[in-house]
Structure formats: C-alpha cells, structure tokens
C-alpha cells in the first residue's frame, strides 16, 4: 500500500486568496485585451516603446547578450525542462499531486496561450523594429515567453515556499522568481519580439490561470491535512 503524501507547511494565504487574484487578473486581462484591440492609445504607446528600445539598443550594445540569455530562460525548451525536472523532484520527495499538477498546469498554460494567439490574431512588431535574435513568426498577443516563464517560475516559487517555515525564506524565493519573470518579460520588449502590451497581457492571463490552479491545489492540500489522522 502506498504511503500517504507528507503534509506541507501551510501556505499563509487561504485558497480563496488565490481564487480572488485569479478572478481579478482575468478581468484585467479582458479589459487590457479590449484596449489593445479596439483602442488607439495603447497601440501607439507600443509603437513608441519599440522604436525607443530599437534606437537605444543601436547605441548601447552592451546588454544585448544578457537580454538574449534572459529571453532563452523563458523559452519553450527551458520551460519544458523546468517542468520535467520539477515533476521528477516532487515525485522523488513523494509530493505526487504537485508533480502531476506541475506538468498539467504547464501544458494547460501552453494550450491557453496558443488559443489566445489564434483568437486575437495580432501581428508581431515589424521586421524593421525587431532585433536580429528574434526568429519567431507566430502571432504576438499574448506573449508566450511572458506567460510560460510566469507559470514555470511561479510553480518553482510555490514548490520552494511550501516546505519553508520561515517567512524570510519564503519571501526570498518569491522575490527572486518574480524578479526573473519581470526580467524575461522586459527582454522580450527590449528585443522587440513583442509589443509592451503583449508582455503585460501574457503576465495577466498567466496569473489568472496559475492562481486558479494553485487555489485548487491549496484547497486539496488543506483538506488532505484535515482528514489525515
């Protein structure tokens, strides 16, 4: 008979916190998408932002390699490897539900991203604006890198936070992963692989999906702890 999964240290926010954040992010994404597709101010800002970073990067070549490195950290290969290794890690320490959920959340996020791209059908920045490192040809909104890295590193942050009893360690893990997600998103804007609004859209739809899934995980975990003898 398989031994039960070991209980985690309770995460401070209750499941309803995750569900509320998910709902708020989903509503924001809907409003943001409307502004992107039907408004003028946001697309004009996107264009101005892309031109600014194109001109700036032509003068300042120093950060280019670092930005390419950052954008690779949020790519499909990196996120796939992170999901597989994370699932193996959680299985090895007998957190089977989280191991399965990690893979499911990443796959679901990828399908959600592709579905949104097909629905919104927005073109990427013009070739005259894009950096030479940008090779993608699929649709632009929302940013897959921004969405994928937020899911991947968000799950890593959750897995790192769960066993930590000390709040400073939890905070350190959260701040580190958040900074990495923000940096990867900025690299997509810097390289003009995406419009500014694509990146924000990717983050917000990711938060809606990730926090919905984490809320379900937290609810299940807390119920299992209560039922355990």
Number of folded domains in the chain?
1
SS (H, E, C) 91-145: HHCCCHHHHHHHHHHHHHHHHHHHHHHHHHCCCCCCCCCCCCCCCCCCCCCCCHH
- Domain presence at residue 81: yes
Residue 89, domain CATH: 1.20.144
Q: Round to whole Å and give the CA distance between 182 and 178.
A: 6
- Domain presence at residue 115: yes
pLDDT number for residue 12: 66
Q: Round to whole Å and give the CA distance between 22 and 25.
A: 5
Q: What range defines the domain where residue 68 resides?
A: 15-55+63-224
Q: Are 205 and 25 in contact (CB under 8 A)?
A: yes
| Closest of 153, 116, 105 to residue 138, by C-alpha | 116
- Domain presence at residue 127: yes
- Domain presence at residue 171: yes
pLDDT number for residue 11: 57
Instruction: Specify the pTM.
Output: 0.86
Q: Round to whole Å and give the CA distance between 44 and 176.
A: 32
Q: Tell how far CA 182 is from the center of its chain.
A: 9
- Domain presence at residue 130: yes
Q: Are 69 and 133 in contact (CB under 8 A)?
A: no
Contacts of residue 182, defined as CB under 8 A and 6 or more positions apart, other chains included, come to: none
- Domain presence at residue 157: yes
Q: Are 43 and 36 in contact (CB under 8 A)?
A: yes
Give, for 164, the enclosing helix (H) or strand (E). Answer: none
- Domain presence at residue 3: no
pLDDT number for residue 2: 45
pLDDT number for residue 225: 57
From first to last of its 229 residues, what are the pLDDT tens digits of the chain?
Answer: 444 444 555 556 788 899 999 999 999 999 999 998 887 888 899 999 999 988 888 888 888 889 999 999 888 889 999 999 999 999 998 888 889 999 999 999 989 988 998 899 888 888 788 878 787 778 889 988 888 899 999 999 999 888 877 778 888 989 999 999 999 999 999 998 889 999 999 999 999 999 999 999 888 877 765 555 5
Place of tokens 């926090």: 211
pLDDT number for residue 1: 43
- Domain presence at residue 4: no
Calculate the alpha carbon distances from 179 to 12, 138, 184 in Å.
Answer: 21, 27, 9
Total Cβ atoms within 10 A of residue 10: 12
The CA-based angle 41-47-51, given to 5 degrees, is 145
* Eight-class DSSP state of 162: T
Q: Round to whole Å and give the CA distance between 33 and 38.
A: 8
Place of tokens 């990730």: 210
């Amino acid at each position: 008979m398989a031994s039960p999964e070991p209980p985690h240290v309770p995460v401070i926010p209750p499941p309803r916190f995750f569900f509320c954040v998910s709902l708020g992010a989903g509503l924001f994404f809907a409003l943001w998408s409307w502004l992107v597709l039907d408004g003028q101010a946001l697309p004009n800002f996107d264009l101005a932002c892309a031109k600014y970073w194109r001109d700036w990067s032509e003068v300042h070549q120093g950060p280019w390699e670092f930005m390419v490195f950052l954008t690779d950290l949020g790519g499909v290969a990196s996120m796939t490897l992170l999901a597989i290794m994370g699932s193996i890690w959680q299985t090895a320490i007998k957190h089977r539900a989280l191991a399965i959920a990690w893979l499911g959340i990443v796959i679901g996020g990828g399908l959600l991203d592709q579905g949104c791209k097909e629905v919104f059908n927005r073109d990427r920045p013009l070739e005259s604006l894009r950096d030479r490192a940008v090779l993608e040809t699929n649709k632009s909104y929302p940013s897959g890198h921004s969405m994928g890295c937020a899911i991947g590193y968000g799950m890593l942050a959750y897995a790192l936070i769960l066993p930590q009893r000390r709040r400073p360690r939890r905070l350190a893990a959260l701040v580190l992963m958040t900074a990495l997600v923000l940096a990867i998103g900025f690299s997509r804007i810097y390289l003009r692989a995406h419009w500014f609004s694509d990146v924000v859209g990717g983050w917000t739809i990711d938060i809606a999906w990730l926090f919905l899934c984490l809320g379900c995980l937290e609810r299940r975990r807390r119920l299992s702890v209560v039922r355990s003898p």
